[in-house]
Amino acid sequence: MAENALNASALGKVLERAASVAEGGRRSIISRYIADFAQMVYRCYSENPDAEYKLVIEDIVYALRCSFLQQQQRRSVSRTDEDEEEDEEATFVDESSYLDSSFPHIHLVHESIRRRLALFSEIVQLWPESVDRLAAVEMKMPLDLKCLLLMLEAWLIPTKPELENVNTRQKWIDKNRLAAPVVLRLLESVADVTPEHVYHRDKCRFFWNRIGAVQLFIEHVCPSDVADIARSIQWCWSLWTLLGDRTDFKAVQSFDKVEAFFHMCNKKASELFFGKQDNCPVCDKTVQFPVKLPCDHAICRHCLVELQETNNCSCPKEQCYKKFPRDFKGKSVTAQKDGEEKFALYKQQCNAFFMEVVSRFCFSDNILPEEAVVRKLMAYVTRRPRRGESQVPGRGAQAEAMLRTKKMFEESLDPTPVVRSFLLQLLLQVDIESVRKYLGEYFEDTLGFLSSDPTQTVELCILCVQCFEDHHRRQSALCDSETRCIDFATRLLRASLDLLRRDQPAVNIGTVEAVASVRFGLVETALWMHRLYIAGDVDRTLTTEVRRLIEAARAICDQDQFKWPRVYLMRQVARRHGMDALKRLSEFQSWIVPVYARVNKNDAVPDCFVICGDEYKKLRELFAEVSIGKNLGPLEEALKSLNCAPEVGESVALLAMYREITSANVHEDAQRRPSAEAVNMLKEFCNTCPTFKNKAFARAVAGNSLGGNLCVKPRRVAIDRDVSEVVTHFKILLMNSPNNGLQGLWVELATAPQNMQNSFLPTMPQDDLDDIRTAIGQGIVAGETPAFYQCKNGHPYVIGNCGRPVAAGTCLQCGAPVGGTAYRLQADNQALAANVDNTRWGHILGQPLKRAPVPERQMSAAATAVVRVLLHMSMYLGSLENPQAISQMLYPPVNFAEVSQFLWNHIIVDVDTIHNAVGHSRDDVLVFLHILIDHMIHNAKQVAGLDLRLLTKQSRAQWENTYVDAYIAQGLNGLDAKIQGANNLMVNDNRLGNNPLLRTIFESDAPSTFAGKIHEEPSLWRFRSHITLEHLAHALDENLAQKRGGEQEQMKAGQKKFPILRLFLKEEHQLRAIRMLPNILHLHRLLLQRLNRCIDSSEATTMTVNDFLSSITDENQRQELLSLVNDFSYAWDCVRPSLPNHPFGGCTIPPEYAQEPLTTESRLAMLLPSLRGWGLCSVGLVYYLQELQNNFLENYSIEFKQILQARVDIYDASHAHLVSYHPVHDLQPIILANCNYSLEVGKGTTIEYNFGSMERQLVERFIRGRPRLGIGSQMAFIKYREDFTNASMFDQLRNRIPQEPLPSPADLERDLKHKPTEVTDLLASIDIAVGFLVSIGGDPEMKLTRFMSDTLKMKQTQTVLFSCRLKHVESLWLMLSYLRARMQASYGHEAFEKVDEKYREPIPEDMQKKLHLAFQHVQMNMFLILLYECIIFKISVKQNTNDEDYADNSEYSLKDVLVLYMSDSKSNCSIPALEDDRFPADVKVKHCIATWLYALSPNRR
């Protein structure tokens, strides 16, 4: 088709004529065309452009030759035997026959190799010498493969001197980092054209694996900043030579080499850390990593482990044989800890190296490694060969290898749960059956010694349970609907119940996996029960599935022989959603809590105030005695003997009184509430007791008259009860805080809010542009006057020096032109107004809606959320004192009567925000706030020089930094341990100590020893905190808080720790969507191919995605599109809250559009890229993802002082160009590889991260070498059917082909008048023809049927087209469109789908009479055609309301518009009756559609 279209065009005729007269004929012209074409499409970067162009031309020729040969092969395959006999010479192919190709074929071939030419250009820029070196290579292969092979062998291969010198070695690593993005893109792009290509591509991959492994070893084990670097240098070259040319970590040979290399390093490391040793009495070899026995004899560390595993715990030294404990860890061979510390560091470095090699190379591309590799990795997981393996005949070598594996773990790898779970999870992702088989064999072998030594087996079971549980979680995440997720969990629970009921060995893989399935199923049950009964956000359609899940969970928990599943379910509910949620759920599902643990809903409420210490508990008991009528004497004596500061003593006394007296008002039974006599007695006591300085407040506490939600009442919601305790505790803090202290801001807001008007409140968002101006202004030198401007899309930029544009550039955000030349600004740019700051004072958060943790200014996300809850608590207290003053601080305004509840709801939202920021339950967050307030009571601080009124943004920022440093950072530091300690205090409180429910929930019961079945082991049913990105972000904040004091000067200088890791974690929730960009663009291409010019916008808005997918008959195509739609939906959900605030191309996405999730029931128009309507969603998403990567990379380049690569068009970008990663498959291995955790009863989960290594790996794998993205070519938009057939389109057609009226339109109308299907089909065909004619033109006299059949390859059988020529296309389209409109109107359908509503105003009755008289003098069919044509081509054409000459035409006289249109040469109609006074002038353009329908109506008379 393309070739026919080109030949029919003027250019094609010129080329063919040149080919016929050129010397050398057509082949000569083709050769010259290729050379010219190469210079047109390719830009040279080397100093030898002739050689570079020659390489490009040769690659195009090579691609043409390959394409020609493939065509010949396809033809030869399709030939019959008779054809071969008739033409035996057909098998001969002239190698130069490719020169017989057509001109369009050259363009098609170039399009197929355009990406590899772009990669070649990148290599030339990276390594300019490559051009000359490639010119000398004679190999016939694609240019990208040739480049890759040469670059690896000639440029990146290291030499021994290069690796043995610290400086040159670092340069080699830097060179690899620079080349890595290009190499990875090249490996992606090389196609499997021939076996030779496959061989060379695999050779390149092996070579790159080898380079990568050595680089990882240097970075992890031998970094340049490690001590004794000179001794570790020789290891690098040894690893390079040992790996060899075929480095494939999916094959066991490479793993064996790594093992051998580790053993070699261990000998050197042992001498390095502990000095030279004598022979070991166990293995009779030089002692490696020595440890001393109690008798002071030294043996190898791995030998000690072997002795303990064989229960041979006595010294092997002759004439000694002294016994030692089986759990003996060994003593250091030196008095100094230096050697042990270096040894521990060495093992951590080996861990990191080994895990990154496995994740990056062994499991790359989700391709399974060899079985031998899987078994080796499983040996690392179990830490021993299968028992009895060494006794099997003929397996000595394998047993020896397995023993080396165990030895490697003791000496080189640290056998922490992290390493082993990391390996097991990787194996589960790709080969779960092999894991089951291997573990089954292992557990069978352990049965013989389980009773004597269960520790290691139980430890392995815990590890396997956790990994299988995580595997189920990943499988559930792949489900495409909530219904399938619930069904998946239900099936696991049912299958596990059947498995656990069977009589099986004590330990077996089936039971272990069943425990994991039950744990996963119960976690899902806890989640859905909370959503169904507490949150109430379960869709009605899911209720049945949720109840089936609950029934499956109950079936397991009700089994008498299974104690722990019910306990685990209770732990999940309480630890994730709070104790109150567990109590409320037990009201709906009583089986959850066993009878022995059930309590009254108002009993056993944990006392959070016990964190205040023993003095509090003592006073609490005395207040309890007063409440039941005992005298005040003991209480008075106890208050006098308090051993603490007066303000602390008063706080403790008030809290004790609140807990025992005020909180008792929660009971509905009056007998359980304090008597009126006791309350009055306490009020009198408060008046006279010197401990209470604030008498009025103490009386209010005793009388339960604190006001608002602080008054305790029966039937309160648990969250209100818990929050009121925190607010009361906070009020007690403020009561004893001075106005000029750090708490002075809160004191003013709570007691005198009228003094805080016009204050910039903490944590409120602000406009930072003014701060940027100030920062730039501080750095200018004399004579400079920088100025701020904005591009056409509103993105700001600055011009330095004189501030006037002298050069053009592109916007870093969107790629739009910025700057200018000769001091003239770009026409669509404009200057930013000076001193414009849109920051508002007061409270500007609006309604208390759920919000994600977001950092503000220098505060972390968690610190921001904590400061914000303190702000809202103080404002709430202020609303009880002066609600009018508080209401004046709120923007948008809030109803005066609702101010207090508005702020109360904000406090609850803040608690949930902190919960999301730190990864703890709501109960834990409330406990933390009590801990923080208690800490502030004991540590009152005053800081001079602070503006507590916060009248400027600068004073607000200064106060925030000071307050966070003084209190919040310390409070968040070690948060896990603090909360666990507080929970232990509450559980062990003598008021609740006998409560078995609390003790069970917080795992305070001592662990049992293993006996019987493995699923009865309590340690398998402990609550587990998952390692998540939220936990990592909080841990990083804690780490920075610990070091903040010592880094104050560095922070002032702008040098912050882990800047890219912090930025990555801050934006990760959106960055994860960038990997979907190529898939979104591919979805655009597929949709445009199917729907461009074939669908109306109204149809796209009403049709759902599911309707569209159902219309596709090919199953493979439907599944591909569904997968791409899911990718679009994933990216859309990640970023849609931010889309309305980011303009693109002068457009913005309306907020109501961004609130819509995208599902298969969403309107199809959301997926179709367009600059109007719902299509803005698709376009805005692409622009936002592009801008997201560019902003992130810009920040990275500033922090690391890196020069970013040239901009790459989004349509040319692959995953190797993007900040592209999978949160589970890519990020999780990096996090696990850089953390260490342990899980102990009573101590919670302890997790430590290596942030420096994690940041480096993130940079190397996902950031370094990534280019900025641009939209260089015009983005492809959907062309709806009505867009394609408008006035402007036919204006373009007339410029290409002069148009004339149809010779006999009446005959055409008569033939098609009653054939609606034929009219619709013809109109769709003409739409396609017009699109091509606008692009390529044509001979006006050519028959339309010939053009459609020969050029467009569209067979046409309709006889009505035989007389039409290309010069009749416009008239034909208008006639068909008019006929379709008439038919739609006659059927009662909409005839003018896209015409604005303002043109649809009905005609008044008096005006109808005037029209009736006028129509008696008008030829009606001609009038209908004229009016229809005028509406389509004139009236309905949208105008730009911002144009100076814009005018609303709806009030114009319809008669005047029609007369004007008739006078236009484009119109073929003439109705003289319109030019006299018979046609009513008061019929307006706004009545045009009603007039047309009235004229069409047969009943108008």
Q: How confident is the model over 1310-1320, as pLDDT tens digits?
A: 888 778 888 88
Express each pLDDT in 383-405 by its tens digit: 655 444 433 333 344 444 444 54
How many whole angstroms separate alpha carbon 1182 and alpha carbon 1314? 46
Residue linked to tokens 């933390």: 928
Q: Quickly list DSSP for 1438-1478.
A: ---TTSTT---GGGSBHHHHHHHHHHSTT-----GGGGSTT
Residues 966 and 1012: their CA atoms lie apart, in Å, by: 53
Question: Region 808-829: what's the mean pLDDT?
Answer: 79
Q: At 5, is the pLDDT very low, low, confident or very high (cuts 50, 70, 90)?
A: low
Mean pLDDT of the 762-786 span: 69
Q: How would residue 1396 be classed by pLDDT, with cut points 50, 70 and 90?
A: confident
Tokens 């005839």 appear where?
1391
Closest CA to 383 of 294, 498, 460, 488: 460
Q: Report the alpha-carbon distance of residue 1337 to residue 1292 in Å, rounded.
A: 10
Q: What does the pLDDT look like over 1149-1197, one tens digit per residue?
A: 887 888 788 888 899 999 999 887 888 999 999 999 998 999 899 888 8
- N residues, the chain: 1501
Q: Across all residues in the chain, what is the average pLDDT?
A: 80
pLDDT band at residue 1327, thresholds of 50, 70 and 90? Answer: confident
Contact between 1481 and 1452 under an 8 Å Cβ cutoff? The reply is: no
Indicate whether 1044 pLDDT > 50: no
Mean pLDDT of 1093-1113: 86
The model's confidence at residue 114, banded by pLDDT at 50, 70 and 90, is confident
CA dihedral 1205, 1210, 1216, 1217 (to 10 degrees): 20
Map residue 1484 onto helix, strand or coil: strand
Q: Is the pLDDT of residue 1093 over 90?
A: no
Query: At a CB cut-off of 8 Å and minimum separation 6, what does 499 contact?
Result: 510, 511, 514
At position 195, the amino acid (one-letter code) is P
Indicate the helix (H) or strand (E) that contains 292.
strand 290-292
Q: How far apart are CA 229 and CA 223, in angstroms?
A: 8
Q: What is the pLDDT of residues 1281-1317, one digit of tens each?
A: 666 555 777 888 888 899 888 888 778 788 887 788 8
Q: Using a pLDDT cut of 70, give the percent of the chain over it.
A: 82
- Of 694-708, 1041-1055, 1277-1291, the one with minimum mean pLDDT is 1041-1055
In Å, how far from its chain's centre is CA 868?
26
pLDDT category at 88 given cuts 50, 70, 90 is very low
> Would you call 1269 helix, strand, or coil by DSSP?
strand
Q: Can you list the alpha helix ranges (DSSP code H) found in 1044-1150?
A: 1048-1052, 1059-1071, 1077-1091, 1097-1102, 1105-1110, 1115-1135
- Provide the pLDDT confidence category of residue 930 given band limits of 50, 70 and 90: very high
Could you tell me if residue 1211 is left (phi over 0), alpha (psi between -120 and 50 degrees) or otherwise beta? alpha
Judged by average pLDDT, the poorest of 408-422, 554-568, 737-751, 1405-1419 is 408-422
Token pair recorded at residue 667 = 């009971």
Indicate if the pLDDT at residue 576 is higher than 90: no
| 249 three-state secondary structure | coil
pLDDT in tens, 510-539: 888 899 999 999 999 998 888 888 877 777
Phi, psi of 1176 (to 5 degrees): -60, -30
Contact 851, 913 (CB under 8 A): yes
Q: Distances in Å between the alpha carbon of 622 and those of 660, 692, 695, 1384? A: 9, 16, 20, 88
Where is 1209: in which H helix or E strand? Answer: strand 1208-1209
**pTM, whole model, 2 decimals?**
0.63
Which amino acid is present at 263? H
User: What was the pLDDT predicted at 838?
Assistant: 66
Q: Are 1378 and 1307 in contact (CB under 8 A)?
A: no
Distant-in-sequence contacts of 382-388, Cβ < 8 A, 24+ apart: 382/439, 382/442, 382/460, 383/409, 383/415, 383/420, 383/456, 383/460, 384/309, 384/456, 386/441, 386/442, 386/445, 387/445, 387/446, 387/448, 387/449, 388/445
Separation of alpha carbons 1066 and 1064, rounded Å: 5
> 290 - beta bridge partners?
300
Distance (Å, whole) CA 697 – CA 736: 11
Q: Where is average pLDDT lowest: 318-322, 361-365, 420-424, 1004-1008?
A: 1004-1008
Torsion, Cα of 964, 970, 973, 978 (10° steps)? -130
Question: Tokens 């800081």 map to which residue?
Answer: 943
Distance of alpha carbon 1312 from alpha carbon 48, whole angstroms = 66
Torsions phi, psi for 415 (to 5 deg): -75, 55
